[in-house]
Structure 1
């Protein structure tokens, strides 16, 4: 199932072209990139992405390297997979400034949606 299925796209024109890329689309790309970039691919179980009617869950093996509060605040970045980070940067996703997660929270807030939840589990280490 597509992650962006059912994401509403307002009709916006710019320079004669329709703009289909909304802040929600950007936030979802950032969430996916963060999930892949910060995954511990040597850990147990792989990356899991689930889409329900009212939520999307991104889950990866590995703990949060900065800590949950710092991740939420932003300003610090410690990607586990720097090569993946560079690859995403080449297509203008992510920027290694530690602003991705705060931007996701801001976008959800702007939409009036329930705040995302960051969960961290240990043994095996997983971040959701």
Structure 2
């Protein structure tokens, strides 16, 4: 009796192994990052390129991020909508630009009397931020 149960379980296991299994994505993904400023603008423009490069490096090259400066793919103030609509996967900009879309977004950047972009950049890279 045990032999029959064993053979039956083995046959069911073999049949289950032949069923379709989910395919795991292989290869590279190419993401678009749009920014609200020129590519080499000191501070935010340089930081956007550094972020794009870092994502590519940390993903082992599986995610390649192509940077588009303001006006190359969408206007500078259109980056939020570009990501919302699926034109790009990432944006790099100032949250204060979209306070009219959501008041909550203002809590995450551009606070009054906060650091300017160059000060924040210095704090992040040289001040332990």
TM bucket normalised to smaller: under 0.3
Task: Flag the structure with larger Rg.
Answer: 2
TM-score (norm 1): 0.24
Higher helix share: 2
